[in-house]
C-alpha cells in the first residue's frame, strides 16, 4: 500500500522533480510557487467560501506524533496558527512544548520588516542542527515569508532541511501536504499567489478559554507603498456576517468573555460584499450576542466612519480603546505612503471619536525614516504625537520590502539618523504610555484575568477595558477568565499595579 502510494506520487509529480547534487535532498515537489505579479492582481470575481472538510485518507497521519508551531508577527498570524493547530490535532498530532523534540515543527512567519525575517532565519539555523540529529523531524515554513518570491527561492536553493513550504492561502491543505512530504520524502512547496478564499468551519485550538480572535475579513487592498501585506495576504474579502455572528454566539455559549475582531483593515468590512452592511452594523449586531468585551484591530483612518464611532459610543461591549495607525504626521510623507488622509483629517477623526467616547485610549503605529524623510517632516510626526494624546504606539524604522513601490524610492537618510529619530520619537511615545496609566491612579478598574504574571511571585495580571496591562496580588487559578475589580495603586510606563477589591 505504502509502495503503491509512493509510486503514485512519483508519477504524479515527476515533472516537478529536480535532481539535486549528491548530499542534498533529491526531490522537490513544487505544486505552486509564489508570484508577486499574480499577487498584485485584484480580479473582480466572487470570493469562494471553502467549508473545511477533512479527507478521511489523512485522518491518522499524526497518530503518536507531536507538533510545535512558532508564531511571529501580527494577530492574524496568531489566529492562523490556532487553525493550523486545530487541523494538526484533528489528524492525530498532539501539542508539544519543546520544538527541538517535536515530530513536526512549523514556523508561521512574518514578512513585514527585515528584522522580523532575520529572527526567523536564525531560528531555522538552530533547527537545522537538530534535524541533522533527528532526520525524521519534519520542518515546515508557513505564513507571509514564503509568499515572497525571494524567500521561497532562497529556501529551494539553500535550505535543504526544510520539508514543507506553505503560504497564507492554503492552511486547509496542510494534511495533504504533510502526507505528501511523508510519502515522497521530498520537499513539498505549495504557495498560492491569488486573491484568496475564505476558509470556514476549520477546527481551531484557541490559546485562551476566555478571549478569542475572530477574523472578520482577510487581505488588504490599501497598497500603502511601504507595505508587503497586500501581496502576501491577497485581496480584501469579508466573511459573511452570519458566519461571524454564529462564531461569536458559540464563543459566548462556551464561556468566552472577550473577542478581538481581526482584519488588516476592519473598517473596510463588507465593502467587497456589496451589501448595505458595514463594520458599524456588525458591531451593533455583535453587541447583541451577549459577549462582554469587543475589541478590533487594525483600523485604517480613512475608513473609520461615523457609524463605527457611534457604535463605540452606543454598544456597552465595545471597549473604549482604538488602535488607529497614523504612520506619519507629515502630509507629503503620508501622500508618498499612499495613506489617503492628511494630518488634519486624522486629527478631526480622533477629535470626533473623543466627543463620542471621551475616555478613549488611543494607540497607533508610526514609521520613521520613510525614504528621504526630512528633519522637518519627522518633526511634524513629533508634533502629531504631542497633539493626538496617544497612550501607546508601535514605532518602526522603515524597512525596504522588495516589490513594493517605496523600495524604488530614493533614500539618502542614513541608518544612524533613522535610529536617532526612533529614539527621539520613543521618548514622546513612552511619556504617553505613562500618562495613560497615571490617569487610572486610585480608580477601580475591571480586569479580565489572563493568569499568573511574570511580574513577581504571587501576582496575577490581565487587561482593563482600555487595554491597560494590570498586575495585582493574588494567587488563585479560579480567577483566570473572570472580570475582577482592582484599585490602581501604581502607574508605570508599561503597566499598572493595583489591589484586588473584595
Q: Residues in the site for ligand SF4, rule: CB under 6 A?
A: 220, 222-224, 227, 229-230, 264-265, 300
d(CA 67, CA 116): 23
220 binds, among ligand SF4, ligand 5AD, none (CB under 5 to 8 A by kind): ligand SF4
Measured from the CB atom, the residue of 248 and 324 that comes closer to ligand 5AD is 324
Shortest distance in whole angstroms from residue 158 CB to ligand 5AD: 24
Shortest distance in whole angstroms from residue 236 CB to ligand 5AD: 16
Shortest distance in whole angstroms from residue 266 CB to ligand 5AD: 13
Measured from the CB atom, the residue of 155 and 322 that comes closer to ligand SF4 is 322
Give which of 354, 341, 345, 109 is closest to 232, Cα–Cα: 109
For ligand 5AD, which residue has the nearest CB?
Answer: 365
Residues 6+ apart with CB under 8 A from 448: 210, 211, 257, 258, 293, 462, 463, 481, 482, 483
Residue 28's DSSP bridge partners are 187
Measured from the CB atom, the residue of 227 and 429 that comes closer to ligand 5AD is 227
Shortest distance in whole angstroms from residue 337 CB to ligand SF4: 8
β-strands 483-491, 444-452: how paired?
antiparallel
Let me know: does 75 contact 112? Beta carbons within 8 Å: no
Q: At 189, phi and psi to the nearest 5?
A: -120, 120
Shortest distance in whole angstroms from residue 234 CB to ligand SF4: 11
In the block, which residue shows the cell 464611532?
Answer: 309
Measured from the CB atom, the residue of 229 and 312 that comes closer to ligand SF4 is 229
230 binds, among ligand 5AD, ligand SF4, none (CB under 5 to 8 A by kind): ligand SF4
d(CA 383, CA 192): 43
462 binds, among ligand SF4, ligand 5AD, none (CB under 5 to 8 A by kind): none
Measured from the CB atom, the residue of 236 and 450 that comes closer to ligand SF4 is 236
Measured from the CB atom, the residue of 143 and 498 that comes closer to ligand 5AD is 143
Decide: helix, strand or coil at residue 391: coil
Measured from the CB atom, the residue of 297 and 317 that comes closer to ligand 5AD is 297
27 binds, among ligand SF4, ligand 5AD, none (CB under 5 to 8 A by kind): none
Query: Cβ of 158: how many Cβ atoms within 10 Å?
Result: 9
300 binds, among ligand 5AD, ligand SF4, none (CB under 5 to 8 A by kind): ligand SF4
β-strands 258-262, 211-215: how paired?
parallel
398 binds, among ligand SF4, ligand 5AD, none (CB under 5 to 8 A by kind): ligand 5AD
Measured from the CB atom, the residue of 113 and 233 that comes closer to ligand 5AD is 113
Let me know: does 330 contact 377? Beta carbons within 8 Å: yes
Shortest distance in whole angstroms from residue 8 CB to ligand 5AD: 43
Torsion sign (Cα): 334, 336, 337, 340 = positive
DSSP 449: E
396 binds, among ligand 5AD, ligand SF4, none (CB under 5 to 8 A by kind): ligand 5AD
Q: Distance from first CA to last CA of the chain, Å, rounded?
A: 65
Shortest distance in whole angstroms from residue 363 CB to ligand 5AD: 11
β-strands 361-368, 321-323: how paired?
parallel
Beta strands in 298-430 (DSSP E): 321-323, 361-368, 393-397
Amino acid at each position: 500500500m505504502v509502495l503503491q502510494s509512493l509510486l503514485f506520487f512519483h508519477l504524479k509529480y515527476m515533472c516537478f522533480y529536480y535532481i539535486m547534487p549528491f548530499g542534498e535532498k533529491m526531490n522537490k515537489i513544487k505544486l505552486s510557487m509564489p508570484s508577486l505579479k499574480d499577487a498584485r492582481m485584484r480580479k473582480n470575481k466572487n470570493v469562494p467560501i471553502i467549508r473545511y472538510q477533512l479527507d478521511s485518507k489523512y485522518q491518522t497521519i499524526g497518530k503518536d506524533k507531536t507538533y510545535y508551531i512558532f508564531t511571529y508577527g501580527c494577530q492574524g498570524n496568531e489566529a492562523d496558527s490556532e487553525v493550523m493547530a486545530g487541523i494538526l490535532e484533528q489528524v492525530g498530532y498532539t501539542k508539544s512544548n519543546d520544538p527541538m523534540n517535536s515530530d513536526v515543527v512549523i514556523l508561521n512567519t512574518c514578512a513585514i520588516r527585515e528584522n522580523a525575517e532575520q529572527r526567523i532565519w536564525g531560528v531555522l539555523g538552530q533547527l537545522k542542527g537538530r534535524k541533522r540529529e533527528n532526520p525524521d523531524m519534519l520542518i515546515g515554513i508557513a505564513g507571509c515569508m514564503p509568499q515572497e518570491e525571494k524567500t521561497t527561492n532562497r529556501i529551494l536553493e539553500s535550505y535543504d532541511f526544510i520539508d514543507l513550504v506553505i503560504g497564507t492561502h492554503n492552511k486547509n491543505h496542510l494534511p495533504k501536504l504533510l502526507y505528501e512530504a511523508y510519502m515522497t520524502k521530498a520537499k513539498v512547496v505549495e504557495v498560492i499567489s491569488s486573491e484568496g478564499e475564505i476558509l470556514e468551519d476549520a477546527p481551531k485550538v484557541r490559546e485562551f478559554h476566555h478571549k478569542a480572535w475572530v477574523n472578520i475579513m482577510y487581505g488588504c487592498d490599501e497598497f500603502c507603498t511601504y507595505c508587503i501585506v497586500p501581496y502576501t495576504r491577497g485581496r480584501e474579502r469579508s466573511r459573511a456576517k452570519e458566519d461571524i455572528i454564529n462564531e461569536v454566539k458559540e464563543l459566548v455559549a462556551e464561556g468566552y468573555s472577550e473577542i478581538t475582531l481581526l482584519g488588516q483593515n476592519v473598517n473596510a468590512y463588507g465593502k467587497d460584499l456589496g451589501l448595505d452592511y458595514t463594520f458599524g452594523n456588525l458591531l451593533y449586531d455583535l453587541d447583541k450576542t451577549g459577549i462582554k468585551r469587543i475589541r478590533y484591530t487594525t483600523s485604517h483612518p480613512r475608513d473609520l466612519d461615523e457609524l463605527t464611532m457611534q457604535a463605540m459610543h452606543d454598544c456597552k461591549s465595545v471597549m473604549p480603546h482604538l488602535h488607529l495607525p497614523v504612520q506619519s504626521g507629515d502630509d507629503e510623507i503620508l501622500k508618498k505612503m499612499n495613506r489617503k488622509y492628511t494630518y488634519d483629517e486624522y486629527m478631526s477623526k480622533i477629535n470626533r471619536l473623543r466627543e463620542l467616547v471621551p475616555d478613549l485610549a488611543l494607540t497607533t503605529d508610526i514609521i520613521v525614516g520613510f525614504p528621504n524623510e526630512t528633519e522637518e517632516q519627522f518633526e511634524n510626526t513629533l508634533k502629531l504625537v504631542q497633539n493626538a494624546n496617544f497612550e501607546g504606539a508601535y514605532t518602526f524604522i522603515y524597512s525596504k520590502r522588495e516589490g513594493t513601490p517605496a523600495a524604488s524610492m530614493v533614500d539618502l537618510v542614513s541608518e544612524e539618523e533613522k535610529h536617532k529619530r526612533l529614539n527621539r520619537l520613543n521618548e514622546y511615545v513612552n511619556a504617553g504610555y505613562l500618562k495613560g496609566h497615571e490617569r487610572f491612579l486610585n480608580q477601580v478598574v475591571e480586569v479580565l484575568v489572563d493568569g499568573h504574571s511574570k511580574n513577581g511571585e504571587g501576582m496575577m495580571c490581565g487587561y482593563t477595558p482600555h487595554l491597560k496591562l494590570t498586575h495585582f496580588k493574588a494567587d488563585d487559578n479560579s480567577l483566570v477568565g473572570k472580570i475582577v475589580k482592582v484599585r490602581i495603586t501604581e502607574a508605570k510606563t508599561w503597566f499598572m499595579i493595583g489591589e484586588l477589591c473584595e
